[in-house]
Amino acid sequence: MQLPEADQLIAALAESMRPRVTPDTCLVGIHTGGVWLAERLHALLGLSQPLGSIDVSFYRDDYSAKGLHPQPRGSRIPFDVESSHIVIVDDVLYTGRTTRAALNELFDYGRPARVDLAVLVDRGGRELPIAASFCALTLPAPLPAGQNLQLERDDSGALTLRLIHA
């Protein structure tokens, strides 16, 4: 499968979000790909609130089966969640479990006025009733479970989408 350039998708995602964000909109990236993507969107959209990040390790529903991530990076929410407009940012939307965990964690900081979800790619395969508010690319058919689609960053900071066959 030919994957499009990540930069093109990021630009398209930012344009689709532009009419719906204000300077006070807060972005929260999900570690790790979502944080890189959120950094780009934050710059492209000229947002004024500091960027947040979430590591969902402590909220995963498979914690008792898979155990704790060996090096959790923690979450950083440097703005007041109460009554704010928040966009959760992730590179790839798959089962929806990560999004659910991020929502749970976010609400432990307060009650936002509105929460949206922005993703670069929707690969299908949802196991929960969750949908993206903004999505740059929806794959025509769901990817098989054995395949792993993710954003990668090289030393120069360039982002690329990569498909890994497990």
Task: List residues near another protein by CB under 8 A.
Answer: 55, 58-59, 63-64, 67-68, 70-76, 81-82, 104, 107-110
Nearer to another protein, 96 or 124 (CB): 96
Q: Least CB distance from residue 88 to another protein, whole Å?
A: 17
Beginning with the edge strand found earlier in the chain, give each strand of the sheet holding 52-54 in spatial order: 52-54, 26-30, 85-93, 114-122, 134-138
DSSP code string of 72-107 = ----B--S--TT-EEEEEEEEESSSHHHHHHHHHHH
Tokens at 34, concatenated = 């979502």
Task: Give the helix ranges, DSSP H, for the chain.
Answer: 6-17, 33-45, 63-66, 97-107
CB neighbourhood size of 89 (10 A): 32
Q: Least CB distance from residue 63 to another protein, whole Å?
A: 6
Nearer to another protein, 39 or 55 (CB): 55
Q: Least CB distance from residue 106 to another protein, whole Å?
A: 10
Nearer to another protein, 4 or 74 (CB): 74
CA distance 63 to 40: 30
Q: Least CB distance from residue 132 to another protein, whole Å?
A: 24
Nearer to another protein, 2 or 64 (CB): 64
Nearer to another protein, 62 or 155 (CB): 62
Q: Least CB distance from residue 126 to another protein, whole Å?
A: 22
